[in-house]
Amino acid sequence: FSLVRVKSTWKSKLGKKINKDTVDCVSAAKSYESITDRGTSWTVVSPITFTYKVTETHGLLDPSNDTLLLGHITDPQQLEDIRKSNKPIRRFVVIDQEVFQIYGPKLTDYLEANNVVYKIMPLPTTEENKSMETALKILEDVNNFALDRRTEPIIAIGGGVCMDIVGLAASLYRRRTPYIRVPTTLLSYIDASVGAKTGVNFANCKNKLGAYIPPAAAFLDLSFIQSVPRRHISNGLAEMLKMALMKHRGLFELLEEHGCMLLDTKFQADNTLYGHDSIKAASQATRIAITTMLEELAPNLWEDDLNRLVDFGHLISPALEMKVLPTLLHGEAVNIDMSYMVYVSHESGLLTEEEKQRIISCMVGLELPVWHEEFTMELIQKSLQDRLKHSGGLVRMPLPVGLGQA
């Protein structure tokens, strides 16, 4: 049956030919009815389309830039109506507490300059408290704020952990409240900001509870990266290197040549030693990383296809990261996993000795660890067993075959 709307009510119409003049609207959904001697069964096929924007901008917290408040709206008429309206905009903001210490006054000034009715909730968003309790704490405050789930997206400002927790909380509130991601670390800028995953840790396992709900928008402003410690820049470069090794030789060569400069300048324009080159390399590297990440994620947001190149470095690292919390950052654990897999590739004849050495040297140049004493054969075997269990018994191990191919 096709499902058609006639005078505000939906009706089932048998067959494919519909006279469009006699109906208001034809749904993309279909229903199928099957009658046997055991009874009737109905099958519903209903495509759900998600639209979300990833926008790079400058001066996100400049009061004259309304991207943070209105950049997620795609309908020009709706945008115009809001701009003309006297009704104040309301926003609930969850921000990592360390980010709040640096940008709290600027954020408050921004919201007040734009006459926003707001609630800012600073939270410690670390891997140790990435839990359902934290998500419920957010939801309690969201509920007290009496948020309108259709017009008032929750804003998450922080690293990947912050965006994961807020995303899950938003997906639970009234079954799905839109949310906006504002990444403030390099890792979240090129990784968490562009996908649809949300989640919290559970039963001592990383992201065991979660949902695939993309944000309404992700707003990226590289200037946030300038206040990130050097180690955390390095941490983000690991995910960038992952995309380079899997998909883009040019990005690998850029990181190999300019990695140290990107660390020194923190992805900012630099007037001293490096001149104009630093911002050029920074915007090139982030753009390639985001584009290649989106290419892999967009057709497979729900991870139905298990052939996922973006899982490189994520086979053993989740167990390692949870085991040694909080000593390794996410990207550091991923890099240790990647360096091991580079050796696996070399042993399997997929990488030459020279390519292997170049990759390991690049990792060291990006100030990333390539080994950890807890990365044991026992941990590797257990992780691969778990992997088999979660992927229906299929062996799925993304490996580099040369530089920039997998």
Give mean pLDDT, residues 220-231.
97
3-state secondary structure of 171: helix
Residue 17's pLDDT band, with cuts at 50, 70 and 90, is confident
Please report the DSSP string for 140-162 in residue order. HHHHHTT--TTT--EEEEESHHH
CB 178 within 8 A of CB 149: yes
Pair type for strands 9-13 and 2-6: antiparallel
Residue 273's pLDDT band, with cuts at 50, 70 and 90, is confident
Domain boundaries for CATH 1.20.1090.10 within the chain: 230-391
Q: What is the pLDDT of residues 63-110, one digit of tens each?
A: 999 999 999 999 999 999 999 998 999 999 999 999 999 999 999 999
**CATH for the 230-391 domain, from 1.10.3720.10, 1.20.1090.10, 3.30.70.890, 3.30.565.10:** 1.20.1090.10
**pLDDT above 90 for 269:** no
Residue 369's pLDDT is 98
Q: How far is CA 220 from CA 26, 73, 86, 294, 348, in A?
A: 37, 16, 29, 15, 39
When comparing pLDDT for 290 and 21, which is higher?
290
Residue 222's pLDDT band, with cuts at 50, 70 and 90, is very high
Give mean pLDDT, residues 115-135.
97
Q: What is the pLDDT of residues 141-170, one digit of tens each?
A: 999 999 998 899 999 999 999 999 999 999
Residue 276's pLDDT is 74
What is the rounded distance in angstroms from the CA atom of residue 169 to the CA atom of residue 293?
Answer: 24
Place of tokens 């996993």: 337
Residue 99's pLDDT is 98
CB 31 within 8 A of CB 42: yes
Give mean pLDDT, residues 377-395.
90
Over the range 229-263, which residues count as b (16 or more CB within 10 Å of their CB) and which as e? eeebbbbbbbbbbbbbbbbbeebbebbbebbebbb
**pLDDT above 80 for 271:** no
Give mean pLDDT, residues 352-378.
98
Known catalytic membership, residue 197: yes
**pLDDT above 80 for 275:** no
At the second CATH level, the architecture of 53-227 is 3-Layer(aba) Sandwich (3.40)
Residue 392's pLDDT is 80
Written as one letter, the residue type at 353 is E
What is the rounded distance in angstroms from the CA atom of residue 358 to the CA atom of residue 345?
Answer: 14
- Among the listed residues 17, 106, 197, 382, the single catalytic one is 197
- Whole-model pTM over 0.85: yes
Residue 60's pLDDT band, with cuts at 50, 70 and 90, is very high
Domain boundaries for CATH 3.40.50.1970 within the chain: 53-227
